[in-house]
Amino acid sequence: MELCIRKICEDIDKYRSFTMLPRDISQLIFNHLVDSCSLSDNCIEAFRHCALHDMCMGECTRVKDKWMDVISSQGSSLLSAYISSTEVTDFGLSLLSNCSNLQALGLDCCDRISACGIKHISGFTNLTYLGFRKCCGLSAEAMKSLSSLMKLVKLDFERCPLIHGGFIHLEGLTNLESLTIRSCKCITDSDLKPLEGLLNLKELQISCNDITNAGASYLRDLDKLVVLNLEGSDVTASCLDYLTAFTSLKSLNLNRCHLTDDGCEKFSALSNLKELNLGFNNITDTCLGHLKRLTKLESLYLDSCRISNDGLAHLAGLSNLKALELSDTEVGSNGILQLSGLKKLEDLNLSFTSVTDSGLTKLSGLTSLRSLNLDTRQITDSGLAVLTGLTGLTHLDLFGAQITDSGTKYLSFFRNLQSLDLCGGQLTDAGVRNIKDLTSLMLLNLSQNLKLTDTALEFLSGLTSLVSLNVSNSRITNDGLQHLKPLKNLRSLYLEFCGVTACEIKKLQATGLPNLARYRPNQ
């Protein structure tokens, strides 16, 4: 079936209509065209009246009112539609009025939809999900049209700049379980007051700069919250007075707030937390001393905090930790010893720390590690050599590390690698030869290795699982592009500041890489 679908999509211009096919087959064809970024004005017409359940456009930004007419033709069969386009207008949205069974509707980046167009959404009373990401047309007045959507379970207002004062219209949406108001710069404490009656909320994503402790106080009765994100808010540890009552809370994000050690003893009451983000705060080792009781923690983010080697001793008992972020801290090689007992650790970020090759020897027992970030110039070939026992690694970031051609021979131990970053190293084509057998690689960054030539691309031609490849700032030329033709899964290609032109990449896209969606240089 998969081969048939692929063949139909390759010859899509030969087909005028798929109405004669079973709905599930038409759906598979549509999904494949979306995934390969191949939907166009011509082929979208073939899906008119196909009674599809889902028309989710993914990253396709070419959606326009003509397409909305085709989407509308699915009628009562249509259950979900996700659209991300600046071309759709109020008229296009009005065309969906006969899709009475819509349960999920996403309208990302639809800048030409105004309050007048949003009124049509009030008729979609079966909606359980509604998203307005980056939608400049959504205003406080337009939010009146949402007050009748009583079945809404999930609502997303990410980066909507005009919604201040409109939350009063959400007071009656008592079935809401998830609300996102991320990166909406206009939101203030007063906008949170109408939320205090939404007692079924389980996930609340706010992250707005003007929210203070006063605004957080309106959340005190939302005791079903499982996920709370206050990233970037102007709150302090005082807001924990309200949050400590949230016994169900499993994820708390206080990244880029204004926390200091004062009041951090209140963290010890959040005993069910599995994820805690305290990055970019002015906290020290003292704060870590109050986290010792959070024994259920699986993810802890402390990037850019004033954490030292001594502070890591407080984490030794957090035996369930799977992810630990320590980038840009004062942690060095001596502190790594404190992590040796975290046997479940899968993701460790030590970038921009003072960890050296000798410190990495203390990681040898962490055999569960899947992801390791060592973005630091103090790591050399010797450091890579001591990691060879971590054969389960699927992600290895050595951005800026001093890895040479000789060091790349150690990469052969990491057969499971799916992502590898060797940006800014000292590699030549000879070093790339040692990467050619890492056949599980999906993302590869070799940028800023200035001596790489077209021969490097020849060595990479067998990595057919690659989805993203970056060889910018090298000596690659147009002639080398021929070696990329076997990489049929490639979706992103970056060859900036090379001897490669956008015109030749576009030819490669048309003749050999049908899935290529993003490339640089571009025209």
Report pLDDT digits (tens) over 256-284. 998 999 999 999 999 999 999 999 999 99
> What Å distances lie between residue 196 and 113, 122, 170, 225, 235, CA to CA?
30, 23, 11, 12, 18
* Among the listed residues 294, 192, 315, 303, the one whose alpha carbon sits nearest the alpha carbon of residue 249: 294
Q: pLDDT tens digits for 222-238?
A: 999 999 999 999 998 88
Selected residue with higher pLDDT from 148 and 337? 148
- Note the Cα 90 to chain centre separation in Å: 30
Residue pointed to by tokens 């990495």: 360
Q: How far apart are CA 477 and CA 505, in angstroms?
A: 11
Q: Which two tokens stand for residue 309?
A: 């080697």
Selected residue with higher pLDDT from 44 and 59? 44
pLDDT band at 62 (very low <50, low <70, confident <90, very high): confident
Q: How far apart are CA 126 and CA 108, in angstroms?
A: 20
Q: Which two tokens stand for residue 31?
A: 């999904």
Kindly state the percentage of the chain with pLDDT values over 70: 99
Q: pLDDT tens digits for 271-323?
A: 999 999 999 999 999 999 999 999 999 999 999 999 999 999 999 999 999 99
Q: Are 48 and 17 within 8 A, CB to CB? A: yes
Residue 61, pLDDT > 80, answer no
